[in-house]
Structure 1
């Protein structure tokens, strides 16, 4: 998320005061009513390292119409997946996926799974506690950084939407030494393409 200089707090972080608002928030855009998690409430005071994270909140996005005045807009927090696409996706569980990158293999065989709810974040999530918090708060399984943008465009254009993603890491729930995405990103991309090709074949058949 990008901010203009005038929207930054005195210490370079947004939200130094409760009265501060995001641009257009007073007009109903980008409200923080879905939660406002202040990281400083969870400081580990046994360490001398200052806490530089500020806060995170969850907000609906404004979706502007294509053929109307800009002031007429709707707000979307969840974007529904197309029912036809979702039912077709049930047939993808038989797709065989690759499980190895060179000589390094996943600890278990990868599988195609339909999920009821996924979310997008504007930060890369690599923290087990925060991953579990998002799961308990929103009942969501996968976390990515891109699908919401596609979903909102589909909503704006009234186009059927579904997201096909391959997970390359466990968002902080895997190795304590490194994030798995650096190793399995290429494998995830390959498997996503395999599933997408199969989905298209089912869609046109």
Structure 2
């Protein structure tokens, strides 16, 4: 796209799991930062975590009963190696967090308070009004998260409020090439905190509708801002 089209920036959007208990299904999150929480050093039970890893998950902490080791060992969370046109040639930066564009994020705050859809159809509705939230953190990994214990772990360890499978890559690529970027995610499920089956099949369409409506309004705001500056 960058090679063949005149790109001004990237608006990435989709649905995601909700890892923050203060948020709800149907809400739309516009995070300020993203981390790739799927870049692991998977180690033996008593191995030393590499010095550049930023966090660790020790599986024995989740044993039932509590005593003893766990053959799965432990996981160390590695930072990304980030190359940028603004950085030194062929010299990566070690980075965990990738910040979306501040001016676009500031513009997105004007969408807080926007009315969102509450019903999937005439017979399936939420019993609350979804909201737009700007400025939290998001995580990306190449796994679909539907596990309450791990949901709590990544929220407590990284402070992330959403979990998806694409956003960090989009933000990294945009920043690496010097383009503004923002991410908008609709919360479709509780990432394992629910009782029974995951709700993505029920409320995924609602989350997708809400995130699409927010993106449409953001594009309008962006166009108005660009016109006012011209």
Q: Answer yes or no: same fold by TM over 0.5.
A: yes
Aligned partner of residue 185 in structure 2, secondary structure = coil
Q: How far off is 1:96 after superposition? A: 2.1
Which residues in structure 2 correspond to 1:77-156 (within 5 Å)? 77-102=96-121, 103-156=123-176
Which residues in structure 2 correspond to 1:18-97 (within 5 Å)? 33-45=53-65, 55-65=74-84, 71-97=90-116
Any conservation in 1 of the 2:45–2:73 contact (CA below 8 Å)? no
Deviations 1:100-143 (A, max 9, x none): 22221123111111133222233222222322222222222222
Alpha-carbon separation, structure 1, partners of 2:87 and 2:107: 34
The root-mean-square deviation of aligned C-alpha atoms, in Å, is 3.1
Question: In the comparison of the two structures, how many residue pairs are matched?
Answer: 183
The structure that is helix-richer by fraction is 1
Q: Whose relative contact order is higher, 1 or 2, with alpha carbons under 8 Å and at least 6 apart?
A: 2
User: Which of 151, 169, 172 is equivalent to 2:189?
Assistant: 169
1:191 counterpart residue number: 210
Range moving further from structure 2, 37-46 or 152-161: 37-46
Aligned partner of residue 96 in structure 1, secondary structure = coil
* TM-score, normalised via structure 2 length: 0.67
User: Which of 177, 181, 188 is equivalent to 2:200?
Assistant: 181
Aligned partner of residue 107 in structure 1, secondary structure = coil
Alpha-carbon separation, structure 1, partners of 2:119 and 2:163: 22
Distance 1:68 1:170, change over 3 A: closer
Aligned partner of residue 140 in structure 1, secondary structure = coil
Alpha-carbon separation, structure 2, partners of 1:172 and 1:111: 21
Q: How far off is 1:54 after superposition? A: 5.2
